[in-house]
Amino acid sequence: MDQNLLNQILATLTNVHGTTLYDMVLQTLRSHDVRHSHHRASILDRMPDLFNLLSEQSLQQLEAAVTTTAAATYQNEVQNLIQPQTGFHFTGNKTNLSQLETFSIAQMGVKI
């Protein structure tokens, strides 16, 4: 990509629209518009390249971001999993020893 074109795009995003490249990428990934499908696929297909480039620039910053994202995703999944409607919700006043002894994380994974 031509450096001048990149500068124009970034300046337009910042100065005219008050947004960032991150905002544009996020909106592209969220979009269901068929006209954006090529760009969405391009971003997703090249994620490994992005991670490689980021790791070359700042490995510690990338590791911190990935760890934070993974922890937030894990926390969200666990919170969703323990909701009463999933059937895997244990409450202190309703759970008995038999339920705890027969609980299987593998079985839970199959049911999900």
Q: Of all helices (H) and strands (E), which one includes residue 91? A: none
More confident residue, 88 or 84: 84
- Between the alpha carbon of residue 7 and those of residues 13, 21, 55, 59, the distances in Å are 10, 12, 24, 26
Residue-wise pLDDT for 35-85, tens only, equals: 999 999 999 999 999 889 988 999 899 899 889 998 888 888 877 777 777
DSSP 85: G
**Segment 3-14 mean pLDDT:** 92
- pLDDT of 107 reads 72
End-to-end CA gap in the chain: 45
Q: Is-above-0.85 flag for pTM?
A: no
Domain boundaries, the chain: 3-111
User: With 90 as the cut, is the pLDDT of residue 96 above it?
Assistant: no
Dist CA 54 CA 103 (whole Å): 42
| Average model confidence (pLDDT) across the chain | 83
Helical ranges in 21-104 per DSSP H: 21-30, 37-45, 47-81, 97-102
Q: What tokens were used for 4?
A: 């001048």
Among positive and negative, which fits the CA dihedral 40, 43, 48, 54? negative
Residue-wise pLDDT for 57-68, tens only, equals: 998 998 998 899
